[in-house]
């Protein structure tokens, strides 16, 4: 399978699979201070952002990821007011967070400002909450930011990172989770994008173990489709600072005054049900 | 994106996407009386069967499809004894059906005997129930078979077909569903593979409408990941001859004396929960 001018292709060698989207044009390409960013116009998925050769998002299917990174965590927390998004430079997760009226302050800490500027240009619908007075966009290293953030200053932390290689590798590690744990207030929650339930069972186990060793008291994974990521099936892992991950605020979710396409109160509960092979693998994890 | 000798690629033009698997070798290729069949050895997905250029199954991920085509329907029926599989020549669905001890007779009606013979050779684990005394393998046209089958002679009918183009097109149509309805005994259920919830919303609506017009009294769709099919996300649609689709036999499912990797009683219930955009689309369907 080779790239020709009509297709963008991502070869996921560890999985032995490849995914392609038919493109109309390459709209932009640059080497930022951190990574190579490309923007394409596709035939059927709208605009596509690629970083270092990996599909980041498309206009057609990003709702799956952004809704499932934001709403399960926010509706599992009793009263989320202060939210931090690490990564998430396309601003789609931030937009979903700010749909929650109770959120008073949402900080997005993205290392690469160019991702956000290009998203403002090519994915403007994801950036429509960037000027919300509750939003604070910071462009700096998320790991350093957490090391310096005050204790007990956040209710929900969303780790909306790229894959655990290169700059994002530290975001999947026990030292980072320890800092997040310190920054979370009592009752606080972390949610981490945790890759493919088919391809990355070892990584999922490793994330569960690292979160527990970092002091989190309950760890749960949810899953959802994500056609443009390797295997088309993706996950997010939640953990809480103390106690157990609470039952969702189901009445709040049912009455949510904002539209969602994939998330609902019922989908929230269904997404946490895992197939037996994953239940078995995660049961082997020791803290 | 072009095929070279190291990759098998399927270009799904209506979706504007492509999927590829890294291959070690082409093991077999033939033009049967009905279709072109290829078998590959892949790097990471085991053996791969391709029909007319479309991925049919791989050894690595077929459990998702086969378990979700068989067990939700069989555990939703009060006491499934007589099961008919239309298509399903790889025999993986038949194997799952025969895991149910209460099944007394399972007929597989596959039009192309070559699919089954090649499956016996390259996917022997899927064919391990072919010599079960309860199994009957027939190689003939499923639509004609149903037109001639006695009324009220089956409890569950599983339409394990290829995409609704070419020979399988008639399997997605009201006249075929009318025949199935006639052949089902009271309390009977049909389950139809119903393509991608992302790409094929119109088809899903059309299947719902056709089943209702054919006399089925309740129609419900479930969804599950299927990495090697377009969009990586797939569905099956169930319908019952009379009444409502019963709550599953949850205690039987929990106590099932056979192993599953994706299906469980809890996954069964979760799989029927649909995202809001699909709920809305299907609510528009008139019978």
Regarding whether B160 and B48 lie in a shared domain, the answer is: no
Q: How far apart are CA A168 and CA A172, in angstroms?
A: 7
Instruction: Tell me whether B232 touches chain A (CB under 8 Å).
Output: yes
| Minimum-distance CB partner of A276 among B6, B260, B271 | B260
Q: Which H or E run contains B56?
A: strand B54-58
**For residues A59-87, b (16+ Cβ closer than 10 Å) or e, as one string?**
bbbbbbbbbbbbbbbbbbbeebbbbbbbb
Regarding whether A211 and A224 lie in a shared domain, the answer is: yes
Q: Is B163 annotated as a binding residue?
A: yes
pLDDT of residue B165: 80
Evaluate if residue A131 carries a pLDDT over 80. yes
> What values do phi and psi take at A205, rounded to 5?
-65, -40
Instruction: Tell me whether B277 touches chain A (CB under 8 Å).
Output: yes
Regarding whether A159 and A38 lie in a shared domain, the answer is: no
Regarding whether A199 and A101 lie in a shared domain, the answer is: yes
Length of chain B: 287
The residue-averaged pLDDT of B247-269 equals: 92
Q: How far apart are CA A64 and CA A30, in angstroms?
A: 27
The residue-averaged pLDDT of B154-162 equals: 95
Regarding whether A66 and A39 lie in a shared domain, the answer is: no
Regarding whether A72 and A18 lie in a shared domain, the answer is: no
pLDDT of residue B70: 98
* Residues of the domain holding B9: 2-58
Regarding whether B235 and B206 lie in a shared domain, the answer is: yes
Average pLDDT, chain B: 95
| Minimum-distance CB partner of B232 among A231, A264, A274 | A231
**Domain termination site, one of B16, B39, B58:** B58
| Domain harbouring B14, CATH code | 2.30.140.10
Regarding whether A77 and A47 lie in a shared domain, the answer is: no
Å between A256 CA and nearest CA of chain B: 13
Cβ–Cβ pairs < 8 A, chains A and B? 146
| Minimum-distance CB partner of B1 among A3, A16, A271 | A3
pLDDT of residue A2: 47
Q: Which two structure tokens, joined as six digits, stand for A79?
A: 């009263």
The residue-averaged pLDDT of A59-63 equals: 98
The residue-averaged pLDDT of A21-38 equals: 97
- Window 6-35 of A: residues touching B by CB (8 A cutoff) are 6-7, 9, 11, 13, 15-22
pLDDT of residue A1: 44
Total number of domains constituting chain B: 2
Strands A17-31 and B184-193 come out as unpaired
Tell me the residue ranges of DSSP E strands in chain A: 7-12, 17-31, 36-42, 47-51, 54-58, 82-87, 105-110, 135-139, 154-160, 184-193, 218-225, 233-240
Question: What letter does residue A256 receive in the DSSP assignment?
Answer: -
pLDDT of residue B256: 84
Q: How far apart are CA B15 and CA B20, in angstroms?
A: 15
Regarding whether A72 and A41 lie in a shared domain, the answer is: no
| Partner-chain contact B227 A231, CB within 8 Å | yes
> What ranges in chain B are assigned the alpha helix state H?
62-76, 92-98, 113-122, 142-148, 174-183, 201-213, 250-254, 265-271, 276-283
**Domain termination site, one of A13, A29, A58:** A58
| Domain harbouring A218, CATH code | 3.40.50.150
Handedness of CA B161, B167, B169, B172 (dihedral sign): negative
Looking at mean pLDDT, say which of A111-120, A166-175, B163-172 comes out highest: A111-120
Q: How far apart are CA A263 and CA A243, in angstroms?
A: 25
**Domain termination site, one of B17, B35, B58:** B58
What crossing angle do the helices spanning A201-213 and A276-283 adopt, rounded to 10°? Answer: 40
Neighbours of B96 (CB within 10 A): 26
Mark the binding-site residues of A, compressed into ranges: 35, 66, 90, 110, 141-142, 160-163, 167
What predicted TM-score, i.e. pTM, was given to this entire model?
Answer: 0.96
Q: Which position has the token pair 């569950």?
A: B156
pLDDT of residue B4: 61
Instruction: Tell me whether A271 touches chain B (CB under 8 Å).
Output: yes
């Amino acid at each position: 399978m080779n790239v020709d001018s009509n297709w963008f292709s991502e070869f996921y060698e560890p999985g032995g699979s490849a995914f392609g989207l038919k493109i109309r044009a390459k709209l932009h390409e640059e080497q930022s201070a951190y990574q190579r960013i490309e923007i394409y116009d596709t035939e059927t998925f709208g605009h596509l952002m690629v970083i270092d050769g990996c599909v980041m998002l498309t206009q057609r299917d990003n709702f799956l990821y952004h809704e499932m990174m934001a709403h399960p965590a926010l509706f599992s927390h009793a009263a989320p007011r202060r939210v931090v998004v690490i990564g998430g430079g396309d601003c789609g997760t931030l937009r979903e967070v700010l749909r929650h009226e109770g959120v008073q302050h949402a900080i997005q800490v993205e290392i690469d400002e160019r991702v956000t500027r290009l998203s403002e240009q090519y994915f403007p619908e994801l950036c429509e909450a960037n000027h919300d007075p509750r939003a604070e966009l910071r462009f700096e290293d998320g790991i350093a930011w957490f090391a310096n953030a005050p204790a007990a200053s956040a209710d929900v932390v969303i780790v909306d990172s790229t894959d655990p290689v290169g700059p994002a590798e530290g975001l999947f590690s026990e030292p980072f989770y320890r800092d997040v744990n310190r920054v979370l207030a009592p009752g606080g929650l972390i949610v981490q994008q945790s890759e493919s339930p088919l391809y990355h069972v070892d990584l999922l186990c490793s994330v569960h173990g690292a979160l527990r060793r970092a002091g989190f008291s309950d760890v749960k994974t949810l899953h959802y489709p994500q056609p443009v990521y390797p295997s088309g099936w993706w996950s997010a892992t939640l953990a809480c600072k103390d106690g157990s991950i609470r039952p969702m605020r189901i009445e709040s979710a049912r009455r949510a005054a904002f539209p969602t396409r994939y998330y609902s109160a019922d989908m929230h509960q269904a997404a946490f049900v895992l197939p037996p092979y994953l239940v078995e693998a995660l049961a082997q994890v020791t803290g």
